[in-house]
Amino acid sequence: SSSGGGGSRRRMSAAANALATTESLKKGIAEFYDESSEVWERIWGDHMHHGFYEPGSDVSLSDHLAAQIRMIEESLRFASLSDLCKPVKNIVDVGCGIGGSSRYLARKFDAKCVGITLSPVQAKRAQELAAAQGLDGNVSFQVADALNQPFPDGHFDLVWSMESGEHMPDKAKFVGELARVVAPGGTIIIVTWCHRNLSPSEESLNPEEKALLDRICDAFYLPAWCSAADYVNLLQSLSLEDIKSADWSEFVAPFWPAVIKSALTWRGFTSLLRSGWKTIRGALVMPLMIQGYRKGVIKFAIITCRKP
């Protein structure tokens, strides 16, 4: 019987460790964005996500805002939201950054949108920008955990997660929460960084691929990655319908080289130096993102579905 106690103690300490790791991850993410959001906004504007480009295009910096808007529009189109008769009245933006998508979607659908982020700095800035754009009544932001959302079941017509899934330590719980808060007939859109799908004979990525992703994870406060196929399986397990996914890596390829180019301008460089070490560390691994895309280890995925 004494060994049983050891087993449960071990399990408890493993659970406690996992919890501590999750808490420190959440703290790291919040601090990373507290620190880096201002730099991003100064150089790149409202939208803290990839742009959608013509494959192989050479882009100048001025094209990026248009490309980021195109990313939002293409995502809606992929989810067939552009032609749905059912009106979108309530939206949640999960991992909202400084609220670029929230404000855009609220305007587009003439809807109410609430954005959640772990970063108090982002939530405050997002609200300021909404007020400045006269969207105070339609858009609100709060500090909340995507894995434990403060919303009732079936509340939103559109559940939007633009490049926040990669920060989630528990993908099953993340997807479960998205499915919980979406209304029957509502749409979930997940746009996220994934690793490549594994072939049937593979148990995991190879050691070289793993090492590359680990270095990126350390700098960007990312837990373990998963594949788009993993997301599809999770959505299927929750009986969601119209599940579709696509690899959009080729459409975002020009993005990281452009981010690096902007970091190398005097304005970018001085902003980085002012911002602090976490942001600088993030900037230093950007070339690894390019390498990951080139090698086909990193995939930029969209996964959408509907709740029956």
pLDDT per residue over 86-124, tens digit each? 789 999 999 999 999 999 999 999 999 999 999 999 999
For each of the domains in the chain, give its residue range(s) and CATH number, in order of start: 46-51+61-196+224-251+297-307 (3.40.50.150)
Are the CB atoms for 17 and 25 separated by under 8 Å? no
Q: What is the pLDDT of residues 208-254, one digit of tens each?
A: 999 999 999 988 888 989 999 999 999 999 999 999 999 999 999 88
Closest CA to 32 of 286, 285, 278, 289: 278
Are the CB atoms for 215 and 276 separated by under 8 Å? no
pLDDT of residue 60 exceeding 70: no
**C-beta atoms surrounding 171 within 10 Å:** 19
Contacting residues for 162 by C-beta, under 8 A, at least 6 apart: 49, 71, 72, 75, 93, 95, 101, 189, 191
pLDDT at 13: 74
Cα R_g (the chain), whole angstroms: 19
Contacting residues for 117 by C-beta, under 8 A, at least 6 apart: 33, 95, 96, 97, 123, 126, 141, 143, 144
pTM for the predicted model, two decimal places: 0.89
Are the CB atoms for 192 and 3 separated by under 8 Å? no
pLDDT at 1: 45
3 state SS of 143: strand
pLDDT at 17: 79
pLDDT of residue 41 exceeding 90: no
pLDDT tier at 299, thresholds 50, 70, 90? very high
Q: What CA–CA distance (Å, rounded) separates 256 from 285?
A: 11
Sheet holding 90-94, edge to edge: 139-143, 112-117, 90-94, 156-162, 182-195, 298-306, 241-247
